[in-house]
Amino acid sequence: MPKRNAFYAQSGGVTAVINASAAGVIQTARAHRSEIGRVYAGRNGIIGALTEDLIDTSRESARAIAALMHTPGGAFGSCRYKLKSLDENRAQYERLIEVFRAHDIGYFFYNGGNDSADTCLKVSQIAQALGYPLIAVHVPKTVDNDLAVTDNCPGFGSVAKYVATSMREAAFDVASMAKTSTKVFVLEVMGRHAGWITAAVGLADDEATPIPLVLLFPEIAFDEAKFLDAVDSRTKRFGYCCVGVSEGLRNAEGKLMGEAGTKDAFGHAQLGGVGPQIAALVKDRLRYKFHWAVADYLQRAARHLASKVDLDQSYAVGKAAVELALRGQNAVMPAIVRVSDRPYRWKIGVAPLSEVANREKMLPRDYIAGDGYGITAKARAYLSPLIKGEAPPPYRDGLPQYVRLKNVAVPKKLATAFEI
């Protein structure tokens, strides 16, 4: 096989460990110099490919690439840009192939979630249709943990560890204040469609450290009276109560609670904020003092609290993607396969992209407790291993030291521009 270059791009919302996948791809490609030339990264994801704005990762030192292991965010820039279907915008796909051809790219590694798995599949199809030899491998990543086939998604374990730790810590705070002050604490977490992250908040409470929790899943329509009763009974019994609420919580009509269209002090539409809404409800109806937090990007950027398992798996899927490509496997995704719960053992398997693209893995109903406000033993068995182990970044003067790459542009070869 003649030596060809590789293209790698980050897609969609970034995570605390997506750069570990980048490190896995780049280091593994560097270890196979006889088969893979340079690894070009898309500046701002697939947009970099469309506009021929490529980054030459060979200009980065081994040390800089290694530092990606402990650096959150997307080192090459990501984007929210969904390619249309082949029928709708074939020109986009043909442009990709044009750029790939110009830079002799034989390997396409696309690091993202559901949408990008679909894009990756389509790219492999158009390459085939155009007779352009390309191996396309999807590298899984999403804090939403909703990719099909893979047991879990790189990026999720670290968010899970963050929200469980944060809720546990806040619970210790609230418990000490509850006598005369705050009795109810509300933490809003991510996960618009599936309650995986909400479920992870449930890990804050365990046998050794019981915490009175009420979880509000996007899967369970919000029932105000029942919710208030759950909070009230826990607060009366334990003196305080902690509420973990998904940003994707919906009312009985299926409408997102956070988009209930309020106006703020400036007279603007208030966006987001189901957390403060729930807190205000508790205050108004139950008269308990409350505090609320919205973790937002902090939860998915918190590299300082990343899960070691998550970090290892993120690296492993990047490495496996290159190895699969070198074995000629096209239109596939390295998937995490759970071998056992206790002790937790996992390995990397292979999933055809046709089985991954456009599917969503929802939180199983039997992971949610009967009353709808907690998690089951089954959920714990699934979630617990994913947050295991610590992998702190290096610190200097009290702050984590994260790398910024040089991100040197590859000289353009095409005369044509492309409007995105």
Active site residues: 144
Report which DSSP code applies to 390.
B
Residues from 337 through 366 that contact a second copy (CB under 8 A): none
Our finding on whether 381 is near a second copy (CB under 8 A) is no
Binding pattern to a second copy, positions 228-257, x when CB under 8 A?
-----------------------------x
* Token reading at 264: 């703020």
Return the closest-CA partner of residue 317 out of 152, 190, 72: 152
| From 165, 354, 376, 407, residue interacting with a second copy (rule: CB under 8 A) | 165
Our finding on whether 63 is near a second copy (CB under 8 A) is no
Distance CA 313, CA 151 (A): 11
Distance CA 201, CA 195 (A): 10
Identify which range of 20-28, 320-328, 347-355, 401-409 contacts a second copy by CB under 8 A.
Answer: 401-409
DSSP string, 132-179: ---EEEEEE--TT---SSSSS-TTHHHHHHHHHHHHHHHHHHHHHHTT
Number of helices and strands (H, E) in the chain? 13, 15
**211: Cβ–Cβ under 8 A, 6 or more apart, which residues?**
167, 168, 171, 204, 205, 242
Q: Tell the smallest beta-carbon distance from residue 237 to a second copy (Å).
A: 16
Q: Tell the smallest beta-carbon distance from residue 27 to a second copy (Å).
A: 20
Identify which range of 230-238, 279-287, 324-332, 410-418 contacts a second copy by CB under 8 A.
Answer: 279-287
Largest CA distance in the chain: 73
**Kind and range of the H or E element at 349?**
strand 345-352
Residues from 141 through 160 that contact a second copy (CB under 8 A): none
Distance CA 142, CA 156 (A): 6
Our finding on whether 273 is near a second copy (CB under 8 A) is yes
**Choice between 280 and 348, CB closer to a second copy:** 280
Our finding on whether 61 is near a second copy (CB under 8 A) is no
Q: Tell the smallest beta-carbon distance from residue 152 to a second copy (Å).
A: 14
Distance CA 110, CA 139 (A): 6
Determine the distance from the C-alpha atom of residue 382 to the mean position of all C-alpha atoms in its chain, rounded to a whole number.
17
Q: Tell me which amino acid residue 391 is.
A: A
Our finding on whether 295 is near a second copy (CB under 8 A) is yes
Our finding on whether 6 is near a second copy (CB under 8 A) is no
**Choice between 57 and 330, CB closer to a second copy:** 57
Binding pattern to a second copy, positions 186-225, x when CB under 8 A?
-x---------------xx-x-xx----------------
CA–CA distances in Å: residue 86 to residues 124, 148, 183: 12, 22, 54
* Token reading at 145: 């943990």
Q: Are 132 and 59 in contact (CB under 8 A)?
A: no
Our finding on whether 71 is near a second copy (CB under 8 A) is yes
Our finding on whether 401 is near a second copy (CB under 8 A) is yes
Determine the distance from the C-alpha atom of residue 184 to the mean position of all C-alpha atoms in its chain, rounded to a whole number.
29
Query: SS3 for 72?
Result: coil
Our finding on whether 96 is near a second copy (CB under 8 A) is no
**Choice between 47 and 135, CB closer to a second copy:** 47
Q: Tell the smallest beta-carbon distance from residue 253 to a second copy (Å).
A: 13
**Choice between 76 and 331, CB closer to a second copy:** 76
**Choice between 4 and 70, CB closer to a second copy:** 70
Q: Tell the smallest beta-carbon distance from residue 44 to a second copy (Å).
A: 4
Our finding on whether 377 is near a second copy (CB under 8 A) is no
Our finding on whether 133 is near a second copy (CB under 8 A) is no
Our finding on whether 75 is near a second copy (CB under 8 A) is yes
